[in-house]
A and B are shown apart, each in its own frame.
Chain A
Amino acid sequence: MSSTFSGVDFYNFDSLLSEEERAVRDMVRTWVDENLMPIIGQCYIEGRFPKELIPQMAELGFYGANLPEEYGCAGLNNVAYGLIMQELERGDSGIRSFASVQGALVMYPIHAFGSEEQRTTWLPRLASGEDIGCFGLTEPDFGSNPAGLITTAKETDDGWVLNGTKMWITNGSQATVAIVWAKTGDIDDSSSIRGFIVPTGTPGFTSKDQKGKLSLRASDTSELHLEDVHLPQDALLPDSDGIKSPLMCLTQARYGIAWGGIGAAMACYDEAVSYGLNRIMFDKPIAHTQIQQVRLADMLTEIVKAQFLTLQLGRLKDIGTMTPEQVSLAKRNNVNMACDIAREARRLLGANGILAEYHSMRHMANLESVYTYEGTHDMHSLILGLAITGKQAFR
């Protein structure tokens, strides 16, 4: 089991990982090399999510890998989970998005806010890839401010009726089940937001892929329409309680994205180093020039900083003291540095850098979505601003 990609380890980072954490990372790395790298460039050009990889990822245990074994999950710690996200995003942000949504945005809320019956019904099926999930929070008019959402859930004698539109929903068109966030009370009352488990075959539920994306092309992003969708009583996640519940899901997903950013950055750095050493211009490799060395030194420095920041975040998550603000800092820093590194790597590659055969431009374009979703870079600045000053600057 050997991978051609060897990651970045300039500070003996590996010595801070357990044998198991390394084994998990190396396995996913090899899987990405063997199964994703050969096809991802073409998938990206075709705008196609590689569905054929869904069963393999399930078989190896990638979905909800940090959830307990009793529900068919792998029961990993959060550092090992993060390393899976790093390696998947080394391949492509779209694949990591798929796994993030399935694990952190669909399985996590069922585990955290669901009844025992909902957990035993849904989690094993989601872990095994039998069911594919999506997470519907964002709406056409409510992106950064999800608390304003206007999808409604009205209680009836025997259940619920949902109405509304969700937008930018990853996996939306291929999902068999959606976690939909809706208001059960007054439209101005964000404390009435509750989560619902909505099988996508329910009458009144339709989805449509958003076309024309120039980013995350190997991932499906869809609009969801809910028109008088009747659900039984037990579709409600009983312990979901206000806007803080979907935000808790986002904290889980953002944690994984913080690791994912490192993966994408490593992929671009690795490509820049090898291209720089092999491309001869003015009779010497371009990596032997000062300008390109500054580029590479900056990339390496940012990756190393992000690794230690994120490992500590993972250790805090494992002991249960991680705060959402700490996750905001890591998501904001890591995705931003990955965007910068992808762009610089693309430039170092010259004309070849615009081809799908190389990876940097694909990562560069993907990371623009990652910069925007799960709380835009700006929103995380404002979350940190609030933590620093005590003053809320959102509105």
Chain B
Amino acid sequence: MKIAVCLKRVPDTTAKIVVGGDGKSIDEAGVKFVPNPFDEYAIEEALALKEKAGAGETVVYSLGGDSSQETIRTALAMGIDRGVLLKTEGSADGLVVARALADAMEGEGFDLILFGKLAVDDNNYQVGPMTAEFLGLPCVTTVAHLSIEDGAVTAEREIEGGVEVSTCRLPAVLTCDKGLNEPRLPKLKGIMAAKKKPLDVKPVELAAGSIEVLGLELPPARSEGKIVGEGPDAVPELINLLRNEAKVL
């Protein structure tokens, strides 16, 4: 089985984010970047499927600047066989990224293409399904349980109040959710081996985007809580404040 994993470099979820001088992007100084956590489920799934099959190839694709090479090497350290960096400057919207990824993977003969369900930096949930559309492949999103038998995919997704079970045939595109697996840590030997694995750097020209970011703002600082009293005596004042100050009732 030949499996592709698409991977994005994102700020660490615990990093303190500062909006940059342009007001439209984050200030990257001092921010630690990590592989998108949902993409780690995709990496783990690809590795586990290859191990189960006992043969196959796993390839990681990432679109971004040179710094994304480090992110790709994290995947290589975990065990992915080789990496491809689609090298661009600046950021691009989801549709443009999906086009570039589809162009790069078209004709490569992948049986399965895995994504994270979303990238934690822009929370768009877009690139996986849009890439599938460009490639004309079936797509199941937010997969939390997966089995593949004789080329038939059975994927479970958690939906409101239940589980939806979908099937499709390979080749297919899946986006991975938490719960699918427990991503492994790279072993020390894996980290050492990663720099010797192939990493192709392919410059790509991106089409003009259709979405423009006008501005970024941090959420307002949470204001201090107010204790209005204790027990039943406090209820009238609480209702008064909820109605007249918070205006939620």
Contacts and interface: CB of A to CB of B under 8 A. Distances in A.
Given A1-B74, A2-B13, A27 B192 contact: no
Interface in A10-42: 19-20, 23-24, 27, 30-31
B40 interface: yes
Given A2-B37, A19-B70, A60 B188 contact: yes
Contact of B185 (A1, A19, A74, A84): A1
Instruction: Indicate the size class of the contact surface on chain A.
Output: 20 to 34
A75 interface: yes
Interface string A65-79: 100010000111000
A263 to B, nearest CB: 17
Interface string B173-201: 00000000001011111011011000000
Interface string B51-70: 00000000000000000001
A23 B186 contact: yes
Contacts of A1: 34-35, 40, 74, 183, 185-186
B77 interface: yes
B144 to A, nearest CB: 20
Interface string A30-61: 11000000000000000000000000000111
Contacts of A60: 185, 187-188
B14 A20 contact: no
B187 A61 contact: yes
B73 interface: yes
A284 to B, nearest CB: 13
B192 A19 contact: no
B14 A61 contact: no
A289 interface: no
B64 to A, nearest CB: 16
Nearest to A18: B195
Given A4-B14, A75-B192, A23 B34 contact: no
**Taking each of B13, B14, B191, which has the highest tally of chain A beta carbons within 10 Å of its own beta carbon?**
B191
Contact of B12 (A2, A24, A74, A75): A2
Contacts of B188: 24, 27, 60-62, 65, 74, 76, 84
A292 B32 CA distance: 28
B187 A69 contact: no
A27 B185 contact: yes
B13 A61 contact: no
Contact of B74 (A4, A6, A23, A76): A23
A20 B191 contact: yes
Contacts of B192: 20, 69, 74-76
B107 to A, nearest CB: 32
Contacts of B186: 1, 23, 27
Given A1-B34, A19-B70, A76-B188, 9 more contacts: A1-B35, A1-B186, A2-B13, A23-B73, A23-B74, A23-B194, A27-B191, A60-B187, A74-B192
A38 to B, nearest CB: 15
Nearest to B34: A2
A61 B187 CA distance: 6
Interface string B1-35: 00000000000111000000000000000001011
A59 B187 contact: yes
Nearest to A77: B192
A4 B70 CA distance: 21
A69 B183 CA distance: 25
A176 to B, nearest CB: 23
A2 B74 contact: no
Nearest to A59: B187
B190 to A, nearest CB: 8
Contacts of A74: 187-189, 191-192
B151 to A, nearest CB: 32
A30 B70 CA distance: 17
